[in-house]
Amino acid sequence: MSSAGSVAALSEAEFAAQVREWLAENLNGEFRDLRGLGGPGREHEAFDERLAWDRHLAAAGWTCLGWPVEYGGRAASVRQQIIFHEEYAKANAPARVSHVGEELLGPTVLAFGTQEQKERFLPGIRNVTELWCQGYSEPGAGSDLAAITTSARRDGDEWSINGQKIWTSLAHVADWCFVVARTERGSSRHKGLSYLLVPMRQPGIEVRPIVQLTGTAEFNEVFFDDARTEAGLVVGDPGDGWRIAMGTLTFERGISTLGQQIRFARELAGVEELARRTGAIDDPLLADRIDEAWIGLRVLRAHAIRTMEGTGADDGGQASVAKLLWANWHRDLGDLAMAVRGATGLVAEDGDLDEWQRLYLFTRADTIYGGSNEVQRNIISERVLGLPREARP
């Protein structure tokens, strides 16, 4: 597996300068017009071109920075990874199409996978030749993930999978899906689940798009009808899927969130500029809300760095706190954008949404996907504070 070599010996200033220089030189030519494209609610924008950009990054050694060198990474420190994501966002580089593989499945395989699984799947993630999606939520198991009913049974050298997943981001372009399925007949809740790696391009899988409020369709329903995967493509032991799945969710709320916050800051700056241009900034209540949003961003950054660098208490609830903080902040930014727009924000010109209307509509989902507010608060109350468990049917 190719790699550009370790960056561990570089100082933070040297590494930041290297990232800035490379981005300045390469976000040009065929990639010049990709700046600012893509991301949640906008994954349809220039997808093929962004995929080519991701592969260009990979060829230069800018994917999977924190991975060990022997698996194609560059052994970057936490601080260096933070620097990369922040510099990438500051350059307004396009949203990555390989996020699910690089930030979720890759670290999961590194932490829990067999050597054979590492050798088989990490090169495709690192080189962006195989794209992934996440098969967790179901119609009856969204916020209550332990209610999963999708089943898998061993059939010789394969698993046979039947059931339905929903809200599966980018399933329509994915080559593989990591699927949490019930593999022990008669099991319930967290027991009897397994974490399977399933090829998407096979007759037993049907993907149906879900049209969102924004009119786009990056979420999907995925139906498994005797879909197949090899017997050895279980991460961890059969029946241990809940532990592996929770590990993936921890990786999901990792270092890339610092880059996310740079994009949030750019959106906030745009809302403030709009308020100044329209005169809405003269409303003291709106001005106060803009100031509060600025303060909230600083809280997000301070919390993220404190937890990622291990300086905070390791109480197991840090990922849930982070999700609550950014999801509510971003939803409130959508509300603020509409307040600044005023009555004109209620009308879509020629039927097309502008960036603020799209921001408002898509951020309605922020407090739901990736674990709803209610689920995050339950995790904190039960697992961290030790409060009584919520009554369940």
What is the pLDDT at residue 366?
Answer: 87
Same domain, 192 and 234: yes
Give Cβ neighbours of residue 359 (< 8 Å, ≥ 6 apart): 41, 267, 333, 334, 337
Same domain, 230 and 262: no
| Max mean pLDDT range (107-111, 143-147, 310-314) | 107-111
Residues 217 and 261 in one domain: no
Mean per-residue pLDDT of the chain = 88
309 is catalytic: no
Residues in the chain: 393
Statement to judge: residues 259 and 353 lie in one domain: yes
- pLDDT at position 312, please? 41
pLDDT at 143: 65
Q: Is residue 106 part of a domain?
A: no
Mean pLDDT in residue range 33-46: 87
pLDDT 10s digits, 247-275: 887 776 566 666 678 788 888 999 999 99
CATH number for the domain spanning 380: value is 1.20.140.10
Is pLDDT above 60 for 339? yes
Instruction: Kindly state whether residue 392 falls inside one of the protein's structural domains.
Output: no
- Find the mean pLDDT for residues 223-252: 90
Which residue of the set 86, 218, 252, 267 is catalytic? Answer: 252
Model pLDDT, residue 392: 64
Say which range, 5-9, 58-62, 107-111, 171-175, has the weakest mean pLDDT: 5-9
According to DSSP, the β-strands at 132-135 and 234-235 are unpaired
Mean pLDDT of 180-197: 90
Q: How far is CA 100 from CA 195, 252, 256, 338, in A?
A: 15, 8, 11, 31
Note whether 308 and 223 are same-domain residues: no
Q: Tell me: the pLDDT tens digits for 66-95?
A: 999 999 999 998 889 888 988 988 898 998
115 found inside a domain: no
The pLDDT of residue 254 is 61
For the chain, report the end-to-end CA distance as a whole number of angstroms: 49
In a domain, 151, yes or no: yes
So what's the pLDDT on residue 379?
A: 81
Neighbours of 218 (CB within 10 A): 22
Where does the pLDDT of residue 309 fall: very low under 50, low under 70, confident under 90, or very high at 90 and above? low
126: in domain: no
Q: What is the DSSP letter of 96?
A: P
> Which backbone phi and psi does 328 adopt, to 5 degrees?
-70, -40
Question: What's the CA gap between 141 and 164, in Å, rounded?
Answer: 10
Q: Which domain holds residue 192?
A: 132-239
145 within 8 A of 137, measured Cβ to Cβ: yes
User: Are 22 and 76 within one domain?
Assistant: yes
Q: Mark whether 299 and 232 lie in a shared domain.
A: no
- CA separation for the pair 363, 266 (Å, rounded): 15
Token pair, residue 16, equals 């930041």
Is residue 327 domain-resident?
Answer: yes
Is the pLDDT at 321 greater than 50? The verdict is yes
Of 81, 96, 111, the residue that ends a domain is 96
> According to the model, what pLDDT value does residue 109 have?
96
Identify whether residues 141 and 64 lie together within a single domain.
no
On whether both 224 and 263 belong to a single domain, the answer is no
Does 71 reside within a domain?
Answer: yes
Q: Predicted confidence band at 125 (pLDDT cuts at 50, 70, 90)?
A: very high
Judgement on whether residues 55 and 19 belong to the same structural domain of the protein: yes
Residue 334 lies in a domain: yes
366 and 276 in one domain? yes
Does one domain contain both 84 and 207?
A: no
Tokens of 21: 């220089």
State yes or no: pLDDT of 233 exceeds 80: yes
Amino acid at residue number 376? Q
Contact 252, 246 (CB under 8 A): no
Rounded Cα distance, 333 and 320, in Å: 20
Distance separating alpha carbons of residues 393 and 390, to the nearest angstrom: 10
| The domain boundary residue, chosen from 46, 74, 96 | 96
pLDDT at 307 over 50: yes
Q: What CATH number does residue 195 fall under?
A: 2.40.110.10
Instruction: Give yes or no for residue 315 having a pLDDT over 60.
Output: no
Q: How many domains does the chain have?
A: 3
